[in-house]
Amino acid sequence: MQRFVNDPDYIVDDMVKGFVKAHEDLIVKSEKNDRVVKYKNAPVEGKVGLVTGGGSGHEPAFLGYVGENMMDAAAVGEIFSSPSAQTFYDAFLEADAGKGVACLFGNYAGDNMNVKMAIRKAGKKGVEVKMVAATDDISSSPKETKEKRHGIAGGVFMWKIGGARAALGGSLDEVIQSAQKAVDATRSICVGLEPCTIPAVGHPNFNIENGKMEFGIGHHGEPGMNVQELKSADEIADQMTEAVCEDLELARGDETAVILSGLGATPVMEQYVLYGRAEKYLERKGIHVYRAFVGNYVTSLDMNGAALTIMRLDDELKELLDYEAGCPGLTVKAK
Amino acid sequence: MQRFVNDPDYIVDDMVKGFVKAHEDLIVKSEKNDRVVKYKNAPVEGKVGLVTGGGSGHEPAFLGYVGENMMDAAAVGEIFSSPSAQTFYDAFLEADAGKGVACLFGNYAGDNMNVKMAIRKAGKKGVEVKMVAATDDISSSPKETKEKRHGIAGGVFMWKIGGARAALGGSLDEVIQSAQKAVDATRSICVGLEPCTIPAVGHPNFNIENGKMEFGIGHHGEPGMNVQELKSADEIADQMTEAVCEDLELARGDETAVILSGLGATPVMEQYVLYGRAEKYLERKGIHVYRAFVGNYVTSLDMNGAALTIMRLDDELKELLDYEAGCPGLTVKAK
């Protein structure tokens, strides 16, 4: 394993330190909890607080989506594992300005359990917290049990939409409603070409054979829909776009926002190759891309692979997507 | 080789198509030359035109630095090879609004030759073009022959500073002067852990042994200063920062801007680990970081490695660095 790492058991600490230093114009560490980072102006007076969180190794997620008109605080877990309930709770308190807190996270079992415990604890302290879980990964559960699906890069749209609604003065219920609307309108699919290695383990926890690819792989190596022969970029992009379009029931005339995210070790050049073909597929189906994002938005350590995320837009989602935002993971300028 | 690729001979075309589609709010392809992309508002009336260009495989460089208050056009070469003189020439014409054009590029032999040919050709057409070549890579030539050094991620500062000077109404000579000032104030060093593979070749053109690292490796695998045992992230960051500080003769009290760029296959998490330690080194020396950038700014296909770039600031460079800019590779909001 050729990696930039010190003691692998402390890589999350090292990462958080570097992150806070790099983004000190936007981000500060909580004084109460080393695993909570917050927007330097949080809690923002008069605004609903916004919190996300999850395991590390997905940078810039989750902490990179803290910033202006985005999340107010993030709870940082160990690699691929949930932050503790206490950490989510501390993040809620950092974000709360008395208008309640929306917790927007990724629907993994550990996160779900800890977020709910933290919500109960916050309730006892008089801080109202409501939650939305992203469920965009279509490979993680069948359509009939969509509520069990995991969140991957679709979380970025949930955070962007929820963040804008809160910035526009939305109440807690309105923020929850808009974030849920983004989740309902968003689907993703992931393809893995080479596995990732947890630094403290030192070798991949799963295997992708040379000449093969795993279609629908999860962000921690969860088995996908199937293992296939490695195909051309165009064939892969077509297959990904088709799967997302079908699940989201996209139709001619629909407007969309699209993310093509690398998974950590995917060259930027190849991300654009995939994106170009995905948009071509959509064009052929008469589906318009209103905004596109290509880059490392949600990663999995050093996994070689890509995720395609599509959100169907309506006027409300478009307005919220276009609302100015600035955080390490994403900058949006008003159109 | 597990890659997202179609016919490897056409990967640059595929990438450019995807790039233009993804960024159609900012970027259009030239109608005259498929290997030239330009800012949608270029040529910008009353403004000096700005052009960059170079080989592909370094995305988001070079084409990703075209945009608002950045480059007006970019010439796109084959993988790791210079765009043709004709392509640079066509980029000059796309950027020229009658106030002359500044060509800001990376000082590789092929680029140098082709840029100079294109400048002569443009001169005959009555378009004045002047050039600045980035020379930030301290490993590419000794200090006594600094003018022979190659440009790597330091180009980003050259483009940002030149772009802001032009946006502020600077004359061609003033833009050249500011861009040259950025180059003179900037140094970089690169460390490689694993080599990259040109898709049409299918295997790495050079080797980095397991357990070793190449200190000072070039962005195309050019041999570095030396091959060392693979060290801890902290030791690597210290060594990189020390080398840059020494060459740039940074002193207590200096203010700087810093880029920590991944080289394509470097996990975002590890980029932050390196950055954190680099800033700590600077702090210990009494050197202040005014702005920091961590991410894939200039890459080398799928190379696993990192580049550290530091620019020494004065009031002029600070003002120009802070000037609002928006392009796919970099967004700067006024402080």
- Please report which confidence band the pLDDT of residue A137 belongs to, taking 50, 70 and 90 as the band edges: very high
Residues forming CATH 3.30.1180.20 domain(s) in chain B: 186-332
Rounded Cα–Cα distance for residues B330 and A331 (Å): 10
Indicate yes or no: CB of A21 within 8 angstroms of CB of B230. Answer: no
What DSSP line would sit under A171-229, residue for residue? -HHHHHHHHHHHHHTEEEEEEEEE----TTT-S-SS---TTEEEET--TT----SEEEE
- Please report which confidence band the pLDDT of residue B116 belongs to, taking 50, 70 and 90 as the band edges: very high
Indicate yes or no: CB of A21 within 8 angstroms of CB of B331. Answer: no
Rounded Cα–Cα distance for residues A18 and A45 (Å): 28
Is the CATH code 3.40.1800.10 the one for domain B186-332? no
Residue B205: its pLDDT value, please?
Answer: 84
Residue B186: its pLDDT value, please?
Answer: 98
For B193-240, write each residue's pLDDT tens digit: 999 999 999 999 899 999 999 999 999 999 989 999 999 999 999 999
Bridge partner list, A312: A256
The beta-carbon neighbor of B275 closest among A22, A56, A276 is: A22
The beta-carbon neighbor of B265 closest among A230, A232, A302 is: A302
Residues forming CATH 3.40.50.10440 domain(s) in chain A: 8-184
Residue A224: its pLDDT value, please?
Answer: 87
Averaged pLDDT, B110-130: 98
SS3 A254: coil
Checking ipTM against 0.95, whether it exceeds it is yes
Six-digit token pair at A98? 């008395």
Indicate yes or no: CB of B265 within 8 angstroms of CB of A265. Answer: yes
In terms of DSSP H, where are the helices of chain B? Answer: 11-22, 85-95, 109-124, 154-167, 172-184, 233-248, 268-284, 315-322
On chain B, the residues whose CB falls within 8 A of the CB of A333 are: 326, 331
Enumerate the active-site residues of B. 58, 220
% pLDDT > 70, chain A: 100
Q: What are phi and psi of B216, to 5 degrees?
A: 90, 15
Residue A269: its pLDDT value, please?
Answer: 98
Residue B1: its pLDDT value, please?
Answer: 76
Assign domain A8-184 to a CATH class: alpha beta
HSE-up of residue A201 (Cα within 13 Å, Cβ side) = 10
Nearest-CA distance from A210 to chain B in Å? 7
Distances (CA, A) of B23 to A76, A155, A313, B333: 32, 21, 18, 19
- Please report which confidence band the pLDDT of residue A117 belongs to, taking 50, 70 and 90 as the band edges: very high
SS3 B247: helix
The beta-carbon neighbor of B18 closest among A16, A266, A275 is: A275
Q: Which residue of A has its CA nearest to B294?
A: A22
Answer yes or no: A23 catalytic: no
Rounded Cα–Cα distance for residues A118 and A50 (Å): 14
Nearest-CA distance from A34 to chain B in Å? 15
Whether residue A275 contacts residue A204, with contact meaning beta carbons closer than 8 Å, is answered with no
For B255-302, write each residue's pLDDT tens digit: 999 999 999 999 999 999 999 999 999 999 999 999 999 999 999 999
| pLDDT beyond 90 at B333 | no
List the Cα angle B276/B257/B278 in 5-degree steps: 25
Residue A333: its pLDDT value, please?
Answer: 85
- Please report which confidence band the pLDDT of residue A80 belongs to, taking 50, 70 and 90 as the band edges: very high
